[in-house]
Structure formats: C-alpha cells, structure tokens
Chains A and B, each alone.
Chain A
Amino acid sequence: MSVAAAEKQPVTGAGPFNGILTWIDERYPLVATWKTHLSEYYAPKNFNFWYYFGSLSLFVLVIQIVTGLWLTMDYKADAEKAFASVEHIMREVPWGWWMRYMHSTGASALFICVYLHMFRAMLYGSYRKPRELLWIIGMLIFLCLMAGSFFGYLLPWGQMSYWGAQAIVNLYDAIPIIGPDLALWIRGDYVVSDATLNRFFAFHVAGVPLALLGLVAVHLVALHEVGSNNPDGIEIKKVKDPKTGIPLDGIPFHPYYTVKDLFGVAVFLTVYFAIVFFAPALGGYFLEDNNFVPADPLKTPPHIQPLWYFTPYYSILRAITENFMSVIAAGTVGMALLIIGSVKSRAVRGATAVIAVVLLEGYFTFDPKVWGVVLFGVSVVIFFLLPWLDRSPAKSIRYRGPIYKVALALFVIAFLLLGYLGTQPVTAVNTLLAQIATAVYFAFFFLMPWYTRMDRCKPEPKRVT
C-alpha cells in the first residue's frame, strides 16, 4: 500500500486521542500493528485450557526480566562476594527477599508454562505443517531458557550452584579430541571459578535475555503469519466469510482472548504468590537445600541433582552405563533394519547401513560416558524433528487413533519417571527403571514415522467443534 493510501485510512473510533493517534500513525504503523497482532488477528474460537500457557509463558518471562533487573542492582558477580550478596538481598535490602523469591519461583514457573505449552503442541499437532518453523523457533526459545537457567543457577554461588555447573561443563569434556579444551574455554579456568561466575553472569543478564526477546518476537510474527492451531487441528483459514475474508471460526484476539488470558494470569498469580509467600523453596524443588551452603570447590555435597526441569535429561545421562550399550546397539540395528525394510531408495538404504555400522563401531570404541552425553543432547534436540517424524493424517489427538494415544501416554509416563528418578540417588533399581524409561523416551520419537502411519485416525471435521 502506498504512503498516501495509508494516510487516508481513518483511525478507528473518534475519541480524545484521535488526533495524537493520527499524528503517530503518519510516522509509525501503530494502529496497523495493533490490528495485525491483536484486534484483527483472528484466532480459532475453540481455544481451551491448554491455550493459556503461551501467553502465560510470556507473562512470566516479563516477571523474570523485571525482577532480574532489580536483583542485579544488589548482586555482586565475584566468587568472594556472590553468596554474601545474595544473603544481603535476602536479609537487608527492602523487599529483597520478595524480589529474589519472585525470580527463583518465576524460573520454575516459566518451565512449567513452557512444558505445558509444548505438551499442548503435541496434543493437537501444532508443530505440523504449516507451523514447522514456528515450532523450531519455539524450540530455540526452549534452548535459550535452558541456557539462561543454567547460567543463572551458578550466580548464588552455593554448593549446588557450583557442583551443578561443574558437572554440566564437564559434559563437554567428554567430547572426543576437542572436549577438554572446550570445557577449559567455557570455564576460563581449570575448574569452575571466579572467571566462570563472571561470564555466566554476563550471559545470564545480557546475552540470553536479548536472544530470548528477539526469538519471542520472531515466534509471535511466525504465529500470526500462519495463524493459531486449535484443539481440532484443522485450518480455520480454509473456511472464510466470502465478503469479509475473515475465517468463520475465528474471533479477534482482542478483546476475546486478551480477556481469557487475563483470567489465566489471575489464576496463575494466585498459585504463584502462594508459593512465593508460603513455600519459596517448595520442599527443595524450586530452591535446593544444599544451595544455602556457600560453594566449596574441595567438597561435593553428598547428593547433587539439577533443578527439577533438567532432571529428565539428567536421568538419561546417568542411565547410560556399559551394560546399557548393548541395548543401544540392539536398538540401532533394529532401527536400521526398519528403515532399510521400509524405504525404497537405494541411496537411503545404503546410507542407513553405513551410519549404523559406524555407530556400532563407535559404541564400543568410545566410553559409555561419551554416549551418555550424546543421548543427553539428542533427548533435547530430537524435539526439533517432531514435525517430520509425525506422519499421522490427523493433527489433533481428538481424531488420532489408539496407537498414538498410547504412545503419548507412555512418553509422558517415561518423561515424568525420568524426572523423578533424576532427583533420587543412584541405586541398582533406579538405574534399571531409568534405562527402561530412556528406551521408551527414544522409542516414542524414533518409531513415530511408523506407528503414526499405521494408526487408524478418525476423519477430521470441516469446521471447529
């Protein structure tokens, strides 16, 4: 549209701000942006409970950024002073305890919202075409959140901060050839030290938040380009009003969903403040007991574990022992045979065979530790591939067949079990359970192209129900 045409467009409504809005609109597309993203963004009318968690995630991210900014005013990123400065915030700064508990509870709340938001996508196939890129951007946001929370967790410089960081940085140490130098580069020292604390602080307060804000903006632009999915998993853009061109099953995001999301925010804040005020440590799950002890580089606490939102992957990491390698090898052979048996292309079959042989060779050349780290990484990154692994004709769980329902249920059980086991000490039984859950976890993804195609789906409706 030409500039002249844009100028002629009247500002909606005649009110006291009409003049100033027109003045701004001649210089910046304010009303147009408002319309594109809110008042004339048509979202499906059948959103349910699961659709609260996208806007809630954004809301909690804002809490984190604001409380984080304030905490930075009194925190000292210095190995000698960090622990004491957090205690200073807690005991001496007016409302310091509130600011810190908002931030620490917010971290867990953000992961709860994001996990439920991701689960929503898995329920209703929101990652499927045309939303693959939207899903990938979302996964990048998830990786940034993980990095941000990992960097942030070192800052209080407690025992768990210190040894958690030590263990995770040492993951890189396991990478053959470049590993030790890479770990040294990340730490900036031979062990986690003041140098590590300072750079983690820099990433936590500047690097990660900037990346996150950019990615969130891109996530929203991508969402508003393709439009929201819905619990029926059908495209509302297929049935439009012939006169207005507006989807018949769409309603303007504002005011309909802004009001709905505000209700979600109110319920969320009730729960959130109950935790902030009455149980900020939440029994050691949101703030771990050992982190109330200053970091001691010479003594690992008797039991270390990451925060709850990392424990599923952490369980996978420690489930990979020498005797589990034969299970992984068997799984690899099975996968290779399955691919070779179901793909016609000779090139793909040949490549599969070669990759399988190389992997099998690698399983018994490198330590199980290396493969633990590899599977730990794969367990997170595999989510990126969901749009292409899922071959079901129906998007939404409402119209999918029994196989996917069972598979998703097993996956959720395995994920929760891994999460629980990650908070428990290592015993023979726990390791075995973690290994079984690890097998289920990966089978859910790796076998998806086959079982989703076999599944008997119900026909999808034309309009939302």
Chain B
Amino acid sequence: MSNKQGVSRRRRNLVIATTCAGGAAGAATAVPFVAFMLPSERVKAMGAPVEADISTLAPGQKMTIEWRGQPVWILHRTQEMLAAVEADDGKVADPNSERKPGEITPSYAKNEYRSIKPEYLVVVGICTHLGCSPQDKFQSAKEPFDAEWHGGWYCPCHGALFDLAGRVHKNKPAPDNLKVPPHMYLVDSKILIGEDRKGA
C-alpha cells in the first residue's frame, strides 16, 4: 500500500468520496436517536398555565400548586414575615433580584418582597442548586444552620437557605433566588400561574 505508483487516483478519490458520503449518512442517523429523547408533544402540552384560588389562604399559610410537574408555592405573608424579609436584606446574596434579569424574577416581581402584592409570594419550590424542594422553616428561631434565623426555607440536600421572599442566603451552594414563575391576578382571589400580561 505504501507503493504509490500502483494506486489509481480515480479509485482513491472514489473511495474518499464514498467514505465521506457514508460517514455523513451515518452521522445523520444520530438525529432521530437524539431527537427521540426530547420532550414529547404530550409532555409539552402539559406545560399549560394553572389557576390557584387563594381566597381561603390564611395569613401565615402556604399552599402548593403543581405546574409543569413542579411545586409552586403561594405564601400569604403576615406583617411580621414582611418585616423579616426587610431584616434579611444584609444576609441574602441578591436582595434586589438583579442577577439574570428576566430569568429568575419577572420585572413585575423585581422588588424587595419579590411579588406583585407584598403579602402574596409566588415561587417555584425547587432549589436553584440541584432541584430539591426546600422545607418550610417559617418560625424565627435559633436553628442549627443559622443562629439568627428570621424564617424562610431550608434545603435538606445541600443546606441552601432562602428567606421569606425566596432570596438565597450568602455563601450557600444555591446560586440564585427561588424562581418566581410567570403569573398574574385574574381577580383578587385567583392567580394564574404560567402566564402573565407581559406579552399581551
């Protein structure tokens, strides 16, 4: 084979062309195999917005709604809880939700309380670290993870802490505040989760 004189140029080029064509066809076969694993049409259709009735949600209470298979929390905050949020400004990593604008916090919730109405916090109850669902720790108390705890959420997986506005504490594994899903008030007692008026 090292003897170049015996090699037909035409044949060699045909071999190269055939190899390239066959290789391209082989590589293209990856497309159906990869695409097959993407979310199906049914899964995509399940991502529709859901309605939450908050008329019976008493102050201090939290309710959980399922949206796209994820827990969405609606917390009716008391005046003390709102005061606790203000007190936590120094402890949290991103007090005014400046990071990743538009992705974590929609513009209408970009305030200290991270909500449209200060009393009602709407967040996706999934830790921004690795997707665990943090636990309610609403009482101000001395906790093993924080001696001056003002209430919020504790993630059992890797110890991330969130205050009562879903803002992540400094120097914890989670990088971002809890995600505020797109939402809007249909009437005072009904919230639509998964859609907002931004586009309308």
Binding site for B on A (CB under 8 A): 163, 166-171, 173, 184-186, 188-191, 193, 195, 199, 297-304, 317-318, 320-323, 367-369, 372, 425-427, 431
Contacts and interface: CB of A to CB of B under 8 A. Distances in A.
A52 to B, nearest CB: 37
B15 interface: no
Nearest to B66: A298
B129 to A, nearest CB: 6
Interface string B128-153: 01111111000000001100000000
B37 A188 contact: yes
B39 to A, nearest CB: 6
B171 A297 contact: no
Given A321-B173, A425-B156, A300 B38 contact: no
Contact of B135 (A302, A322, A427): A302
The 10 A-B residue pairs with the shortest CB-CB distance, nearest first, are A426-B159, A367-B175, A300-B133, A170-B131, A191-B69, A167-B130, A298-B71, A170-B130, A318-B158, A300-B132
Nearest to B47: A190
B68 interface: yes
Nearest to A428: B145
B172 interface: yes
B170 interface: yes
A352 B2 CA distance: 40
Given A167-B157, A304-B132, A321-B171, 14 more contacts: A163-B132, A163-B157, A167-B132, A184-B39, A188-B38, A189-B43, A190-B43, A297-B66, A297-B71, A299-B133, A367-B175, A368-B173, A426-B158, A427-B159
Contacts of A169: 131
Contact of A321 (B43, B144, B172): B172
The residue in A168, A188, A189 that gathers the most chain B C-beta atoms within 10 A of its C-beta is A189
B104 interface: no
Contacts of A301: 156
A304 B37 CA distance: 27
Given A171-B130, A190-B70, A427-B144, A369 B37 contact: no
17 contacts: A163-B157, A166-B131, A173-B130, A184-B39, A185-B37, A188-B38, A191-B70, A297-B70, A300-B132, A301-B156, A304-B132, A318-B173, A323-B171, A367-B175, A368-B173, A369-B173, A431-B159
B6 to A, nearest CB: 28
Chain B interface secondary structure, helix, strand, loop or mixed?
A: loop
A171 B130 CA distance: 6
Interface of B: 34, 37-40, 43, 47, 64, 66, 68-71, 125, 129-135, 144-145, 155-159, 170-175
A176 to B, nearest CB: 12
Given A185-B37, A188-B43, A297-B69, A369 B175 contact: yes
B39 A189 contact: yes
A199 B173 contact: no
B70 A304 contact: no
A97 B129 CA distance: 37
B133 A188 contact: no
B47 to A, nearest CB: 7
Contacts of A166: 130-132
Contact of B157 (A185, A190, A299, A300): A300
Contacts of A369: 129, 173-175
Contacts of B70: 190-191, 297
A300 B134 contact: yes
A188 B69 contact: no
Nearest to B146: A428
Contact of A427 (B40, B69, B145, B172): B145
Contacts of B134: 300
Contacts of B132: 163, 166-167, 300, 304
Given A163-B132, A189-B43, A191-B69, A318 B171 contact: no
Nearest to A166: B131
A188 B40 contact: yes
B179 to A, nearest CB: 12
